[in-house]
């Protein structure tokens, strides 16, 4: 007997992480519905679609945005991890909510091989930071003309 698991193996952000994010911003989390919309929009996730109830108004608000994200896109995955970093600022490590939404989200991230760096950003094995920027050759630029 085989078990079907939702999610796509080519997605950079696994379903378990997305569920943990949904629960951290929704449920009894610290965000209002308006703040959830603002949070997703501030990380370029402005689209939203109607979805089935995800267990309350706040969870559903998060899911409406998550349903539009292309989790196979490295650009979207990086922006999403930046969103996750902001969400986790509401759940400091060692907080009084042992085994709360923040702890569960951190466990899901670790399980996906995504590690939190000391500055709060994330390192993902499937995402590269890209090549360093190419310096601009200023030798061929003309000096501004003064009239």
71 lies in some domain: yes
Say how far apart CA 69 and CA 3 lie, in whole Å. Answer: 25
Count of alpha carbons within 13 angstroms of residue 6, beta-carbon side: 5
The full DSSP string for the chain is -----SS-TT-SS-HHHHHHHHHHHSTTSS--HHHHHHHHHHTT----------SSHHHHHHHHHHTT--TT-HHHHHHHHHHHHHHHTTS-TT-S-TTSHHHHHHHHHHHTT-EE-TTS-EE-TT----PPPPPP--TTPPPPP--
3 lies in some domain: no
Q: 146 or 131, which is more confident? A: 146
53 lies in some domain: yes
Using pLDDT thresholds of 50, 70 and 90, give the confidence band for residue 100. Answer: confident
**For the segment 12-64, what is each residue's pLDDT rounded down to a tens digit?**
999 999 999 999 999 878 999 999 999 999 999 999 999 999 999 999 999 99
2 lies in some domain: no
142 lies in some domain: no
pLDDT, residue 92, reads: 82
Domain holding 80, by residue range, is 15-116
Q: Are 116 and 84 in contact (CB under 8 A)?
A: no
Q: 92 or 20, which is more confident? A: 20
Q: How many domains does the chain have?
A: 1
81 lies in some domain: yes
Q: 91 Cβ partners below 8 Å, 6+ apart?
A: 24, 97, 100, 101, 102, 103, 105
Q: Is the pLDDT of residue 78 over 90?
A: yes
**For the segment 106-136, what is each residue's pLDDT rounded down to a tens digit?**
999 999 999 988 888 888 888 765 444 455 5
Window from 53-62, 81-90, 98-107, 134-143 with minimum mean pLDDT: 134-143
Average pLDDT over residues 77-82: 94
pLDDT, residue 3, reads: 32
Q: 50 or 92, which is more confident? A: 50
pTM for the predicted model, two decimal places: 0.79
Among 129, 124, 116, which Cα is nearest to 86's?
116
Tell me the longest C-alpha to C-alpha distance in the chain.
81
């Amino acid at each position: 007997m085989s078990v079907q698991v939702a999610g796509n193996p080519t997605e950079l952000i696994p379903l378990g992480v997305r569920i943990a994010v949904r629960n951290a911003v929704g449920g009894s989390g610290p965000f209002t519905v308006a703040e959830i919309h603002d949070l997703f929009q501030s990380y370029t996730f402005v689209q939203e679609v109607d979805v089935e109830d995800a267990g309350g108004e706040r969870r559903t608000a998060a899911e409406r945005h998550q349903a539009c994200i292309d989790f196979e896109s490295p650009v979207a995955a990086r922006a999403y991890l930046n969103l996750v970093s902001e969400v986790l600022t509401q759940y400091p490590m060692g907080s009084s909510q042992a085994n709360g939404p923040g702890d569960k989200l951190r466990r899901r991230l670790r399980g996906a091989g995504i590690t939190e760096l000391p500055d709060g950003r994330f390192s993902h094995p499937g995402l590269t930071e890209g090549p360093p920027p190419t310096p601009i050759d200023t030798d061929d630029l003309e000096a501004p003309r003064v009239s």
